Amino acid sequence: MKFLDEAKIFLKSGDGGNGCVAFRREKFIEFGGPSGGDGGRGGDVWVEAVDGLNTLIDYRYQQHFKADRGHHGMGSDRFGAAGADAVLRVPVGTQVLDEDKETVLTDLTEVGQRVLLLKGGDGGFGNAHFKTSTNRAPRRFDPGWPGGERWVWLRLKLIADAGLVGLPNAGKSTFLAATSAAKPKIADYPFTTLHPNLGVVRTDDHEFVLADIPGLIEGAHEGAGLGDRFLGHVERCGVLLHLVDGTSEDVAEAYRVVRGELEAYGGGLAGKPEIVGLNKIDALDDETVAERRKALAKAAGRGAVVVTLSGATGGGVHAVLRLLWTRIVESRPAPAPEESTPQDINPWAPPESD
């Protein structure tokens, strides 16, 4: 299945059905009167977050979605049926934006969340609606009201507990494959990862979701490399794991490049809790590891957490996962205190004696 995290689609709600002009004509009934029914209401357009989807690929091959029109009214006081709704089923984490691609109309973050995007048009009145004591045979009817229409953007931001960032070939996909059942593409050339990957990581008795996005290079916020469009997938993460290739000549510069892109992107990424990992230590001797870890800690600044690991051999991986879980728990909002239910008070009860 191909990955698609952005799509532009056209929406149209159903028009209302027309009212009807009809008169009751039966044998031996002298004054039948008007019997034209009202038109049915047009269908609405809804968007719903469902489980089991992680891409917007369905909206690449179909871009127009229209709800059904309401049925017209008929004689014998028969009202038209309402038109069927159009329901867009999208992955959890999908945002619906206006055509300007800036105004967020809704953000679907929970399974089953359902939002009305366009309301269908009302049906028109038939001539039976206009019958009065002075107008016993009206020939007036109303056409159905038109439905609404608009272009919108669907943008998917994957929901994960932790996110992996770093330069290309920093070992992010290897780390994800070593810690979860995900099977991302791994190769010895840059930009192996072309779309985000998700994996469920298990450590001790806990589970959390880890997101791996394509690597960043200097100038990504200006469109260099694959750009920074995939950074939106780590906006919802509680903590970032910044992997740095330990075999690179200047690990401090590699760290600064990615941090600069995070700050240029915005979205609160630069302020998220971060764990810095010096990766691929299996290819280095102990002296080099200590030297480059010191340089990386200096570049990360005071208070930064710098760990060493090897995604290929698994060295230090379990300790990193435990640290990630600790930071994830700290980043989650505290549960709201339960409101105490007031006890029932009987106003007729006698007062308690001291």
Annotated binding-site residues read 166-173, 191-195, 212-215, 279-282, 310-312
Query: Any bridge partners for residue 199, and if so which?
Result: 210
CA 23 to chain centre: 53
Tell me the DSSP string of 169-229. Answer: TSSHHHHHHHHSS------SSS----S-EEEEEEETTEEEEEEE-PPP-TTGGGT-TTTTG
What are the helix (H) ranges across 70-193? 172-179
Annotated binding residues for Mg(2+), written as ranges, equal: 173, 193
Residue 323 C-beta-side C-alpha neighbours within 13 Å:
18
Annotated binding residues for GTP, written as ranges, equal: 166-173, 191-195, 212-215, 279-282, 310-312
List the end-to-end C-alpha distance of the chain, in Å, as a whole number. 75
Burial of 180 (0-12, 13-18, 19+ CB in 10 A): buried
What are the helix (H) ranges across the chain? 58-61, 172-179, 251-265, 286-300, 317-331
Hunting for tokens 């009212």 — which residue is that? 19
CB-based contact 199:176 (threshold 8 Å): yes
Element (H, E) at 239: strand 239-245
Sheet with 6-12, strands from edge to edge, namely 64-66, 6-12, 149-156, 94-97, 104-108
CB-based contact 312:282 (threshold 8 Å): yes
